[in-house]
Amino acid sequence: MTRERTSGLATEVRFLKGVGPKGAALLEKIGLRTVEDVLWHLPRRYEDRRDAPQIMLLRPGRSSTVIGKLEIVRSRGIGRGRVIVEALVSDETGEIVLCFFNQPWVGRQLEKYTGQRVVAYGSVKEGYRRRLELHGVEWEPAEDDVDAFARIVPVYALSEGVPQRLVRAAAAAAVGQFGNDVPDPLPHTFRKQHGLPLSSEALTELHHPTSDEARIRARRRFAFEEFLYLQIALQVRRQEIKQEVGISFPIRSLGKSRASAGTLFEPETGSPLSEEVAALFPFELTEAQNRVIQHVWRDMEAAAPMNRLVQGDVGSGKTAVAAAAMLAAVRCGWQAAMMAPTEILAEQHYFNLKKVFDPRGIPVVLLAGKLGARDRKSALAKAENGEGRILVGTHALIQEGVKFHSLGLIVIDEQHRFGVAQRMALRQKGETLPDVLVMTATPIPRSFTMTMYGDLDVSVLDELPPGRSPVTTYWRRPGDRSKVYSQVEELLATGAQAYFVCPMISENEKIQAQAAEDLHYRLSTGVFAHRKVGLLHGQMKAQEKEAVMEAFRAGETAILVATVVIEVGVDVPNASVMVVEDANRFGLAQLHQLRGRVGRGARRSFCILISEGTSDDVVERMQTLVDTTDGFVIAEKDLRLRGPGDLMGTQQHGLLTFQVADLVKDAILLEEAREAARLLVANGELDRPEWAMVVERTRARRGDEALVTVS
């Protein structure tokens, strides 16, 4: 948290009691130079030392406080220059050995207290001949204040050579001498309304807890505050977007009169757009699809630019929603552009959209890196002169030299694969601010949606189209491979097709390719030598990838061995078997995406996860996929197992960096902060003087002066 320095908080740490110049030099190693730095260096966890049972009641595997008489201290070598100090402590019920590894100086300190009572805290373990040992020990003479030792003790993040005792002493002195100097940015009435203690009181409680309840209340205070800054920034951004002037698409008038002058492609007279959308597809749209299409069209009719996220599980029909939006834009005289994260996905969208729009006389143009010079020049010309009404591509769409005639709508697929700068670059291609529709087939936990996409309106496709074949998932051990292959062969004999997916064992694409090539060789020369086995990975040239995919789509290839390049967007209805090798190397959400490549046709479909059960985490992930096909349930489980940083990677890390708040533990608190921020922005509360510090901290939290502007 960025804070304003006052004279007291700017005091150098060397002036704190118990620190001095030598201590200050050590504290500087972890970035603690001033009192303010120390106050906001919050504990990462706590040790509860209040319970000090008799030694006979201690149990291995638990951390505990021990009080007893120090009987003997001895040091002995344990090889390679290492030493262990052992101190025998006893009470009237038994004995325990305090163990200190490679800390010979501790032995000299302990010897001074032989025959006296000491108090120690550490992890209880069972040692040689079942003797009790205490490891990771912190100790003090019991002549000191035992109550001060046997309490809830903060544990701070450190670096090598910086002792916990020093940081604790500095924090205690900072709280005692300067705690009351900490300003509170939240007005009194707001704090009272949400049950939040003063900032100074909460800081004191975090550094020197008086009870679990008080410490939890203090932590809640700062978690709420962090969420509040983020949510204010997002709410202000939403408000700014609503105030921007974009394109007001005359959608409702399309069925009543001809479109505006200059429209290259007009609907048939008297044909409502909704009827035309219904005729686009050889299937009936679900209620969820129709509901979301209405959300999108309502946004497009408004003067403010649309900024909507459509979430849907695998196979929920997001492409149909996108097609309805693009049709509306084209019928109103504008171009639409669709950006996908990979060439394979862009080509898949291109072919699917051509099937939909070619019969209606709406040209669809592909703009991707694979194009030759002549085709690229033609595609660029069609984008610029308006002949291309729908443009589909990868990041090639935002490259310099790409110009649009009348870009009115941007559809971004697999939104999380793109950074903010890439999305903004495409949006700036329009002379007037285009509407933006972003889509993801990766279900996002609600807490993520409120942080990463809080400035977007959100629609959820919560219904699968009829006719989708349910996918049955099995978890098999590596020893069952031959049986799995025999079962796959039985299905192939009925005319089905299968995917075999290799794990992402490295960020290095070449290593992925080698793994895929190895599996392809083993399958094509071994158990499936009589079948045509294809190979697809990221190191192949674009033309090679397309040839492989076309052969698989056409049914010429029975098995496709691939890396995660097929994770999203590949649609082959006849493929009904997915075998994932070394499935433990994948995340839950990624496995769910891979599973979504099958079950897209009428055949009964299967996903087989081959993995060792080497840890509780692996067992839980595999069993989750066996038990449910609900992507949102899986996403929440993935968030709990892996945490926000691992789940979304570094691309959006700025939005997920919290010092105190936790998206998993504090989901309900996030909801409360979001609603509070919404009311503050909607009611103009941030214009009032008492909110000035919150506005400043919101700007600092987001690192963007222009993000929060209060008139």
Q: What is the pLDDT of residues 186-204, one digit of tens each?
A: 999 999 999 999 999 999 9
Cβ atoms of 493 and 559 within 8 Å: the answer is no
* Segment 366-410, tens digit of pLDDT: 988 777 888 889 999 999 999 999 999 988 787 778 899 999 999
What's the pLDDT tens digit per position in 74-104? Answer: 999 888 888 999 999 999 999 999 999 988 8
- Would residue 657 count as lying in a domain? no
- Do 284 and 315 form a contact (C-beta atoms < 8 A)? no
Is residue 312 in a domain? no
Residue 297 has pLDDT above 80, yes or no: yes
Surface-to-core class of residue 400, CB atoms within 10 Å of its CB (0-12 exposed, 13-18 middle, 19+ buried): exposed
- Higher-confidence position of 656 and 98: 98
> Which residue, 628, 643, 673, sits at the end of a domain?
628
Question: What number is the average pLDDT over the span 232-247?
Answer: 86
Confidence of residue 73 (pLDDT cuts 50, 70, 90): very high
Query: Lowest-pLDDT range, 72-86, 126-140, 327-341, 534-548?
Result: 534-548
- Render pLDDT for 155-187 as a digit per residue (tens, 0 to 9): 888 887 788 889 999 999 999 999 889 999 999
Last residue of a domain, one of 584, 599, 628: 628
Provide CB contacts within 8 A for 598, sequence distance 6+.
471, 499, 575, 576, 577, 578, 605, 606, 607
289 and 402 share one domain: yes
Q: Around 326, how many Cα atoms within 13 Å sit in the side-chain half-sphere?
A: 31
Q: Give the SS3 label for residue 138.
A: strand
10: CATH: 1.10.150
CB 67 within 8 A of CB 91: yes
Residue 604 belongs to a domain:
yes
pLDDT score recorded for residue 465: 74
233: helix, strand or coil = helix
Q: What is the CATH number of the domain that holds 133?
A: 2.40.50.140
- Domain-embedded: residue 340: yes
Flag whether 180 is in a domain: no
Render pLDDT for 561-604 as a digit per residue (tens, 0 to 9).
Answer: 988 777 555 678 889 999 999 888 888 888 888 888 888 777 88
Both 434 and 289 in one domain: the answer is yes
Residue 654 within any structural domain of the chain: no
Q: Which helix (H) or strand (E) holds 660?
A: none
Report how far apart, in Å, the C-alpha atoms of 113 and of each of 88, 406, 497, 514 are: 12, 84, 76, 63
DSSP assignment of 518-560: HHHHHHHHTTTTTS-EEEE-TTS-HHHHHHHHHHHHTTS-SEE
Q: Is residue 347 within a helix (H) or strand (E), and if so which, with residue range?
A: helix 343-357
Instruction: Give pLDDT, residue 269.
Output: 37
Residues 544 and 493 in one domain: yes
Same domain, 38 and 101: no
- Looking at the structure, do residues 23 and 106 belong to the same domain, yes or no? no
- Residue 234 falls inside a structural domain: no
Question: Average pLDDT for residues 257-282, to the nearest whole number?
Answer: 58
Is 59 a domain residue? yes
Residue 382 sits in a domain whose CATH number is 3.40.50.300
| pLDDT tens per residue, range 599-620 | 877 788 999 999 988 788 889 8
Band (650; pLDDT cuts 50, 70, 90): very low
Report in angstroms the alpha-carbon separations of 304 from 231, 247, 323, 513: 21, 7, 21, 46
Strand intervals (E) in 61-116: 63-77, 83-91, 94-101
Report, as an integer, the average pLDDT of 500-504: 82
Lowest average pLDDT, out of 530-539, 627-636, 695-704, goes to 695-704
Q: Are 332 and 354 in the same domain?
A: yes
pLDDT at 513: 54
Average pLDDT, the chain: 84
Helices (H), 302-342: 318-331
Residue 86's domain comprises 50-150
Asked if 27 and 121 sit in the same domain, the reply is: no
Q: Are residues 481 and 624 in the same domain?
A: yes
Q: In the listed set 581, 602, 628, which residue is the last one of a domain according to the structure? A: 628
> Are 90 and 117 in a shared domain?
yes
Same domain, 403 and 323: yes
* Range 353-377 average pLDDT: 89
**CB-CB contact of 709 with 236 (8 Å):** yes
643 has pLDDT over 70? no
- What's the rounded Cα separation, in Å, for the pair 371 and 557? 25
**For 308-317, 636-645, 661-670, 692-701, which range has the lowest pLDDT when averaged over its residues?**
636-645
What's the confidence (pLDDT) of residue 4?
A: 52
pLDDT in tens, 437-482: 988 877 677 777 777 777 788 888 888 777 676 789 999 999 999 9
256 contacts: CB under 8 Å, gap ≥ 6:
none
Closest CA to 290 of 470, 461, 478: 461
Is residue 578 domain-shared with residue 548, that is, in the same domain? yes
Number of domains composing the chain: 4
Q: Are residues 5 and 109 in the same domain?
A: no
How far, in Å, CA of 60 to CA of 475, rounded? 35
For 650, other C-beta atoms within 10 Å of its C-beta total: 8
